[in-house]
Amino acid sequence: MSTRSNGHVHPEETGLVTLGAVSMHCSHNVASNLKKYREFIEAAVDRNVGFLVFPEVSLQGYFWTTPGVGSPEMAEQLQYFRRVAEPIPGPTTAILQEYAARHNMLIQAGMAERALDGNVIYNSAVLVGPSGVIGVFRKLHNQAEWPVFGPGDDLSVFATPLGNVGMFICYDLCFPEVTRTFALQGATIASLSTAWPMQGEDPATDYYGYCYDVMSRANAFSNQIWLISANQVKRPPSPGCPNYYGHSRIVAPNGKIVAEIGHEEGLVTATVDLEGALERARTLDFFGANLLRDRRPEYYTRVAQTDAPPALVGAAV
């Protein structure tokens, strides 16, 4: 396990906080993954991390093949996740709360969540603080995960000592409306738990990796908020698994990557001025333009339109 940091600031300075993101080589073994959780949390404590983010479903591992409806692979994975999914609050969040309380830390974990009625499983991110569960996000854009995981239906942000936090998961990054919704609720941080795969085998030239890079920076820049991304990395030991891209990172409100780790397992951290960088992005970095203030929402009504698009103005008849 390796660690990276930006190495340019000191946590004892007033107003600074250390953010952390884990690139985790996961398996389909909860005990093994939970052991890594503990190791990464201890490493984060040594770095004075105030907010630590783990990847998508990193507690139980993600799909090992894409589950087609009615396929044997779907049935096998449905049985697995029904067996290992946990309620929230539950045993793992209780462990995370112990660490959070002991070290005054916020921890975001990705896990398969069992709903209260026991019948629906969600692909969830849970935010835990010293007093317990602060909030839960259930993956919104998960069309390829049905019928194993049910869809989420909420884009709330959650109040924390670091400001409002909006959690989201993997494919949600592809929809700019998600982070914009967070920003309009006053989010300081958008925190992504993901299992972002590679298309090929070379992370230096991988197209899916390129997409991840562009979208993570663009979502931070266009909303002038912090973005933390924690990704799975490398191939899990189960047969058929994709090669995950890694490159967990911390992106500033001006779209610049403050710190990241490459295609390797490890912890990346950055000690930053959350509010100072947000204010700088909205008053200085990009022509001094505040992109939220300068919106023209009265002309954006089609963004939420769900019926067929209207005919183009001036279209030939």
pLDDT reported for residue 317:
47
pLDDT tens-place string over residues 284-298 = 999 999 999 999 999
Give the percent of the chain with pLDDT over 90.
Answer: 83
pLDDT reported for residue 81:
96
| Token representation of residue 137 | 């996000």
Give me the DSSP letters along 23-43: EB---S-HHHHHHHHHHHHHH
The secondary structure element, H or E, covering residue 278 is helix 274-280
pLDDT reported for residue 304:
86
pLDDT tens-place string over residues 60-107 = 999 988 766 667 778 889 999 999 999 999 999 999 999 999 999 999
pLDDT tens-place string over residues 20-73 = 999 999 999 999 999 999 999 999 999 999 999 999 999 999 998 876 666 777
pLDDT exceeds cutoff 70 at 309: no
Q: In the 8-state DSSP scheme, what is residue 316?
A: -
pLDDT tens-place string over residues 253-266 = 999 999 999 999 99
Fold of 2-304: Nitrilase/N-carbamoyl-D-aminoacid amidohydrolase (3.60.110)
Residues 209, 242 contacting (CB under 8 angstroms): no
pTM reported for the whole predicted model: 0.93
Read off the pLDDT band of 9 (50, 70, 90): very low
Residues 83, 258 contacting (CB under 8 angstroms): no
Residue-range domain boundaries for the chain? 2-304
Which residues make Cβ contacts (< 8 Å) with residue 113, sequence separation at least 6? Answer: 85, 86, 87, 88, 121, 122, 123, 124, 126, 136, 138
The residues with which 231 forms a beta bridge, in sequence order, are 194
pLDDT reported for residue 311:
62
The residues with which 160 forms a beta bridge, in sequence order, are 163
* Cis omega (within 30 of 0) for bond into 130: no
| Token representation of residue 308 | 């067929």
Give the percent of the chain with pLDDT over 70.
Answer: 91
pLDDT reported for residue 152:
96
Strand pairing report for 132-138 and 257-260: unpaired
Q: In the 8-state DSSP scheme, what is residue 145?
A: G
Read off the pLDDT band of 15 (50, 70, 90): confident
Exposed, middle or buried, 293 (CB in 10 Å: 0-12/13-18/19+)? exposed
Tell me how far CA of residue 46 lies from CA of 3, 33, 41, 108, in angstroms: 11, 20, 9, 18
3-state secondary structure 70-107: CCHHHHHHHHHHHHHCECCCCHHHHHHHHHHHHHCCEE
pLDDT reported for residue 10:
43
| Token representation of residue 68 | 């087609």
Which residues make Cβ contacts (< 8 Å) with residue 215, sequence separation at least 6? Answer: 173, 174
Give me the DSSP letters along 172-226: GGG-HHHHHHHHHTTEEEEEEEE-PBPSSS-TTT-HHHHHHHHHHHHHHHHHT-E
- Spatial CA neighbour of 141 closest among 174, 182, 115: 174
| Token representation of residue 304 | 């939420």
Q: Residue written as tokens 């990464």?
A: 40
